[in-house]
Amino acid sequence: MNTVKVDFEDGIAWVSMNRPEKKNAISVEMAHQMVKLMDQLETDERCHVLVLTGAGESFSAGMDLKDYFRATDKASAVERARVYRLNGAWQWRGLLHYPKPTIAMVNGWCFGGALTPLVACDLAIAADEATFGLSEINWGIIPAGVVCKAISTVMSARDAMYCVMTGETFDGRRAAEMRLVNESVPRAKLRARTQELAKTLMSKNPTVLRAAKTAFRYSARMSWEEAADYLFAKSDQSIFQDPERGREEGMRQFLDEKSYKPGLGTYKRKKG
Ligand code: ACO
């Protein structure tokens, strides 16, 4: 794999879009390789948290205009649909439902189609110095793929419309203000802060974390009545599937052992 790369470190899989000379623009080959890599990492014990970032000075300059637009313009409708489906398989379907926690670490340029995987990650941290933009309007298209849909799930309509209609750039701090990312830190601290957040996630019970992600995503689209019933069942499923029996252990350590306060931290896990 040459257009994506992964480095493992203390439970974190640092996954980079890796075409730095092209500002990590997303090519069809990159989409193929990312789908394959994410599939492998699902069962790789070295990956407890997946961090998505970009090699060099860019997160990603969005879809590769040459490869994803000019080249596929000439393809048949079926082939065109195939390459877009391939991209969706990692950029949103794959990331939205990934069984392990995901963090987008936005280190630099982040345009157009790159906002989809950014939003689809569970959490996102940007460098203050990163440059974002919904640049589609600047070259005569709408933010398609699923970019409009993605940003509508995290940004206010006013902010999203402003970015969609002006194509103006904004930095990491502004991205945090608009809730496109959770927070923004100076670039020099970006990796350390991301590592710290990943460690917090790794201290939690992974079975419950997986259920909590799914519970949030699905219940957000349900009525209150449906959500109440679904979440009741989801909670039971999570307890049933949990090899750590975390719920019982958590209660035991708080109520009987009095060794921790759930309001202030996580129960002591045997491993993890
Ligand atoms: N698609 C294809 N090639 C790209 C893309 C892209 N999205 N972004 C950068 N490249 C290529 C450039 O064509 C250039 O190739 P070359 O070396 O063969 O000439 C190389 O990457 C380096 O890019 P430069 O433009 O020279 O780098 P610079 O630092 O001057 O500018 C910037 C960086 C601002 C990111 C600029 O490359 C740019 O505007 N890229 C396009 C951003 C964009 O609008 N993306 C599409 C969003 S819409 C969508 O994703 C659906």
> In the chain, what are the domain boundaries?
4-202, 206-257
Q: Is the pLDDT of residue 272 over 60?
A: no
For ligand 1, what atom is nearest to the CA of residue 139?
44
Q: How far apart are CA 112 and CA 144, in angstroms?
A: 9
Q: Residue 92 has what pLDDT?
A: 98
CATH class for domain 4-202?
A: alpha beta
Distance 231 CA to ligand 1 centre (A): 44
For ligand 1, what atom is nearest to the CA of residue 147?
51
Residue 125: pLDDT band with limits 50, 70, 90: very high
Q: Which of 3, 17, 21, 23 to mutate to test the pocket of ligand 1 (most atoms within 8 A of CB)?
A: 23
Distance 133 CA to ligand 1 centre (A): 12
pLDDT tens digit string along 48-87?
Answer: 999 999 999 999 999 999 998 888 888 999 999 999 999 9
pLDDT tens digit string along 33-46?
Answer: 999 999 999 999 99
Distance 65 CA to ligand 1 centre (A): 8
Residue 10: pLDDT band with limits 50, 70, 90: very high
Measuring from each residue's beta carbon to the nearest atom of ligand 1, which residues come in under 6 Å? 22-23, 25, 61-66, 109, 111-113, 135-136
Q: Is the pLDDT of residue 271 over 80?
A: no
Buried/exposed code over 60-95 (b: 16+ C-beta within 10 A; e: otherwise)? bbbbbeebbeeebeeeeeeeeeebbeebbbbbbebb
